[in-house]
């Protein structure tokens, strides 16, 4: 459906609207009065169409907004679920390899040899 706000009033004085004017001129109205009546009827119908158009556009905008909010909520929920799963897997990993996650104390290195010499190594 075209936007009724953008439509222009037809020229009811033209030849193509002769029959429409003839209906009113049969009731002893002049061509000018018939044209004025037809223009007023068109404006009334166009105003009604504009109201319907505006309501439809508002409904579409609200539907878009609702869909956007629903998608944002769904994304947020997926993100929370993913973070929860990652936290659970990290916790399982920590349980599995306890020594891997033991904190290293900040103590100075000793001067003692790391490998203790064996008595049979010299032979």
Q: What is the mean pLDDT of residues 4-24?
A: 90
Q: Which of 60, 1, 17, 121 is nearest to 9 (CA)?
A: 17
All residues at 6 or more sequence positions from 105 whose CB lies less than 8 Å from its CB, including other chains:
none
Rounded to two decimals, the pTM is: 0.59
Residue 97 has pLDDT above 80, yes or no: no
Q: What is the mean pLDDT of residues 27-31?
A: 85
Question: Phi and psi for 31 in degrees, rounded to 5?
Answer: -60, -35
């Amino acid at each position: 459906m075209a936007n009724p706000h953008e439509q222009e009033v037809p020229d009811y004085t033209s030849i193509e609207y002769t029959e429409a004017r003839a209906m009113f001129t049969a009731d002893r109205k002049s061509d000018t009065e018939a044209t004025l009546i037809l223009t007023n009827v068109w404006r009334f119908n166009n105003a009604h169409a504009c109201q319907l158009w505006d309501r439809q556009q508002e409904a579409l905008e609200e539907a878009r907004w609702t869909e956007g909010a629903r998608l944002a909520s769904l994304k947020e929920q997926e993100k929370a679920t993913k973070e929860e799963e990652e936290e659970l897997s990290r916790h399982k990993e920590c349980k599995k390899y306890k020594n891997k996650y033991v904190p290293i104390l900040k103590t100075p290195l000793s001067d003692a040899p790391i490998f203790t010499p064996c008595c049979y190594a010299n032979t």
